[in-house]
Structure 1
Amino acid sequence: MRVVPNERVLTRDDVGARPPDSGSESPRTIRRSEIIAFALISLLIITVVAVLWAAKAFFLPIVAAFVIGTMLSPAAGFLERHRIPRALSAVLIVSAVGAGVTFVIGLISSPLMEWSTRLPELGARLKDKLYIFDRPLALWRDLQGMVGGSDALPPAPFQVPKLEWVQPTLEFLSPTFTEFLLFFATLILFIASWRDLRRALIMTFTGHDSRLRVLRSLNAIEEHLGSYLLTVTLINMGVGTATGLICWAAGMPNPAGLGALAATLNYLPIIGPVAMFAVLALVGLVAFSTIGGASIAPLAFVGLTFLEGHFITPTIIGRRLELNALAVFISLAFWTWLWGPMGGFLSSPLLIVALILRDHLSSSNGPQLP
């Protein structure tokens, strides 16, 4: 029999025992199962995003109705507590919201229809006002030539962009009649049946703790989204009123329509104020004979949006909902890229829902009574 020297026979106490400390911890290796799980989750996310993009005409009205319906559910509950049936409350609330949106669209569309009939005249006037950019463009071409850029093209005066983009932009911004119908029908039915949907969703889970956790999550989502809609609407109404007063004091044409446009665009974080500044700058250049007069309203709007964006809105919303600026920007960029302007409007509410679900469903503490 062959004897192996210094060979130690394992005993029962050695099984499962911790290996001796070598003085340095070995780096953690990534297991094959973790790589497979990460790949599957990545493929699932890519598939969901692709489906949401491809079926935008279906998912966008449905998701918008669910989010806005959750925002308006507290109002339906208030009317229901005053002995108004839930179905009638849903119809009244949606009718009131539709009337308000129609009124705002009327304020905005009336000057747009007037200006659309004068596009060639307005374009010629705008081109005459922008002659001051001819010399900066010439200097830019000279600078390109000095650093080795192509100077084959002769210097040309500032050209006003052509208007071929107007029709595609309107088609992109305007949803179809089917999407409108699907949105309003889903919104009314969602508000009318939200209480039953809550009960069915809670009872889907088994176990007392799971149901309490889901109940707390739904209560938090409804409360935060309702307060978000009310607060943002009041802030935007203030911004629109202040913008209308600024335009009236500066002598801008149709200050009511510009104020309504400012209130509407302010629902889109970051993008809305920038677009409104561009609109005020263009209207000012067309309406006034001097650059100084045309810049009064845009500069005053910049000051207004600075105060609103850095002091008023963060104080009222940021402390209550604890929204991170980077998360808001990434959410805005993603949903705007996926679903356009309506996606930008839904970006902050969807971010709020995601944060609430993260806090409640992944909490290590036990659920408490709501």
Structure 2
Amino acid sequence: MVHNAADAVAAEQAAADVVHAVPGVPEGGVGAPPAASAAAPEKRTRHPLAVPVTGIFIILLVQALTVASGFLLPVTAAVLGSLVLNGPRRGLERIGIPAPVTAAVFTTSIGVLLAIAIAMLADPITEFVKDIPTLLDDAMDTLTGPGGLLEPFTEAAEATQEAMGNAADPALAAAPGAVPGAAPAAPAPEPATPVEVVATGGIATTLFAAAPGLLSQTVFAMCLLFFLVASGDLFIQKAVQVADRFQDKRATLKTIRTIERGLGNYLGAIALINAGLGVAIGIAMWLWGLPSPWLLGIMATVLNFIPFVGAVVGAGVAGVTGFVHYADPWSALGVFATYYALTSFEGQFVTPTLVGQRLRLNVVMVFLSVAFFAWIWSVVGMIVAVPMLIVAKVVCDSIPRFAKIGLFLGDAEGFIPRERDAGEEAAK
């Protein structure tokens, strides 16, 4: 019976080939309708649970990223660091230096630089953080005191409180048994309530409490970075082996190489730009005569790794420092404007010129990614937000299915409007 079915299928196929060979005969035979009226392919329908399941997955993913931040944050930093260091590691391998030695040199150098930075900046930063509440109190006293910008508002608030107190006095006089026309009786003194003063931790206490966790995450990231760099191209080879077709293997290798080159160019250029910005701001603060201008320059270098927020925070700190130093709001405004003008010049002219056009991203998406990773991973998340967005854009550009997402993550230069034909204009 199986042979009969196979013979029937073969005979049907042969008859169909004969019919196709006859000119003028439709594809389905003599009585078949034309090919143009053939039945359209069935349209795939979305499963009714696709949208709810996708929404639940996104919610669970965000919750997992938040809960596992202590583990995922150093892992992400180590992976990004290994992608940046893969290029120099291959260059050293060509001259005979093995990958483990290169990894040891890289991680040791990073650790030594971090240790030197902590040793040099620990005391100044600690004193500065402890002085922040005093600086803010002094600034508010100067603003609300005699001759300050906020003095009218302070007087208005005091007058309002006095008026409200006077309006409450007749209510106290209308007590039971009061003689009409007599002076209001003084209210009975209330028993003193003991007040317990609880010392709440300030900014310095919060930083000291977070130091052990930050140190452990740093050590974990450094160890993972060492193993990733020492393993050479092992994980890249595994990623290529996972792909089935040769085209997929080549696309995977090309994507990884593009990510390494893009991250290396971006982070290297940004590090040099931020260092130059720190020097420029340090010199500008020295010309203004502020105390510890070198500390403000280092602060500018570090904060400029955080898009949008870093420039505003740094300018605010510099402005408050100038206000306390000069006790003059206009001088403080000048310090604020100088700091912010330098960062704006860097962001609008220097970075686009040195980083290049290929790595320009959609500003709105950069802002949203910085806000999202700041929400789930705090300040360090704001630093890794842009590198992760670069990785996402390169991956989306390499996969045809997600090419539109990659185009959306880029800036306006990827959009080329199509000019209308003369026939379209005439039709309209």
Question: TM tier, shorter chain?
Answer: 0.7 to 0.9
Is the 8 Å Cα contact of residues 370 and 382 (structure 2) preserved in structure 1? yes
**Do residues 69 (structure 1) and 120 (structure 2) align?**
no
Q: Is the 8 A contact 1:104 1:260 kept in 2?
A: no
User: Do the aligned partners of residues 30 and 214 (structure 1) sit closer, same or farther apart at CA in structure 2, a change above 3 Å counting?
Assistant: closer
> What letter corresponds to residue 349 of structure 2 in structure 1?
F
Contact 1:108 1:260 in 2 (8 A): no
Q: Describe the shift of the 1:325–1:262 C-alpha distance in structure 2 as closer, same or farther (beyond 3 A).
A: same
**1:139 shift after superposition:** 8.6
Q: Paired residue for 2:218?
A: 180
Q: Could you tell me how far apart the structure 2 residues matched to 1:340 and 1:318 are?
A: 29
User: How far apart are the structure 1 equivalents of 2:133 and 2:251?
Assistant: 61
Q: Which residue of 1 aligns with 2:298?
A: 260
Q: Please state if 1:237 is matched with 2:275.
A: yes
Note the C-alpha offset of 1:90.
Answer: 1.0
Q: How does 1:1-370 map to 2 (within 5 A)?
A: 13=33, 17=37, 31-33=45-47, 35-115=48-128, 122=135, 125-131=138-144, 132-135=148-151, 137-138=153-154, 164-166=201-203, 167-168=205-206, 171=209, 175-317=213-355, 319-362=357-400
Cα displacement (A) at 1:72: 2.0
> How many residues are matched?
332
Is the CA contact (8 Å cut-off) linking 2:103 and 2:229 kept in structure 1? yes
CA RMSD of aligned residues (A): 3.3
Q: Which moved more, 1:353-362 or 1:189-198?
A: 189-198
Deviation at 1:106, TM superposition (A): 4.3
- The structure-2 alpha-carbon separation of the partners of 1:251 and 1:191, relative to structure 1 and needing over 3 Å to count, comes to same
| Structure 2 CA distance for aligned equivalents of residues 30 and 139 of structure 1 | 71
Q: 1:44 to 1:15 in 2, by over 3 A?
A: farther
Alignment match, 2:177: none
- d(CA) in 2 for partners of 1:101, 1:249: 29
> C-alpha displacement at 1:238, in angstroms?
0.7
- Please state how far the C-alpha of 1:110 moved relative to its aligned partner: 3.0
> In structure 2, what is the Cα distance between the partners aligned to 1:173 and 1:18?
71
SS in 2 for 1:295: helix
Q: How far off its partner does 1:17 sit?
A: 4.0
- 2:292 and 2:138 map into 1 onto residues whose CA distance is 18
Greater shift, 286-295 or 247-256, is seen at 286-295
Which amino acid is 1:304 matched to? Answer: L
3-state DSSP class of the match of 2:252?
helix
Structure 1 gaps, min length 5: 1-10, 20-28, 146-150, 155-161, 366-370
Can you list the C-alpha shifts for 1:212-255, whole angstroms capped at 9, x where unaligned? 01000000001001111100000100110101101111111111
- Structure-2 separation of matches of 1:247 and 1:70: 36
Aligned to 2:424: none
Distance 1:270 1:313, change over 3 A: same
Partner Cα separation in structure 2 for residue 153 and residue 340 of structure 1: 45
> Deviations along 1:97-129, whole A, 9 cap, x unmatched?
233334444454332233456567645533432
Decide whether aligned partners of structure 1 residues 296 and 153 sit closer, same or farther in structure 2, where only a CA change above 3 A counts.
Answer: farther
How far, CA to CA, are the matches of 1:153 and 1:311 in structure 2? Answer: 58
Q: Which moved more, 1:97-106 or 1:312-321?
A: 97-106
Q: Alpha carbons of 1:274 and 1:207: their partners in 2 closer, same or farther (altered >3 Å)? A: same
> How far apart, in 1, do the equivalents of 2:389 and 2:129 lie?
37
Give TM-score scaled by structure 2 length.
0.69
| Structure 2, unpaired ranges of 5+ | 1-30, 167-198, 404-428
Post-superposition Cα deviations, 1:27-83, rounded to whole Å, max 9, x if no partner, equal xx99452x4223322222222211111111111111111012211222222222232
Q: Is the 8 A contact 1:107 1:260 kept in 2?
A: no
2:74/2:218 contact within 8 Å kept = yes
How big is the shift at 1:87? 0.9
Partner of 1:148: none
Contact 2:143/2:151 (<8 A) preserved: no
- Aligned-pair CA distance for 1:256: 1.3
Instruction: Please list the CA deviations of residues 159-195 of structure 1 after superposition, one character each: whole Å capped at 9, or x if unmatched.
Output: xxx9855134665687433322211111111111141
Contact 2:78 2:224 in 1 (8 A): yes
Inter-partner Cα distance in structure 1 for 2:165 and 2:274: 47
Code of the residue aligned with 1:262 in structure 2: it is: A
Relative contact order higher in (CA < 8 Å, ≥ 6 apart): 1
1:245–1:179: structure 2 CA closer, same or farther, 3 Å change rule?
Answer: same
In percent, how many aligned pairs have the same letter? 27
The structure whose Rg is larger is 2
Q: Partners of 1:173 and 1:269 in 2: how far apart?
A: 24
Structure 1-normalised TM-score? 0.79
Contact 2:135 2:321 survives alignment (8 Å): no
Q: Indicate the residue corresponding to 2:410 in structure 1.
A: none
Contact 1:129 1:285 (8 Å CA) reproduced: no
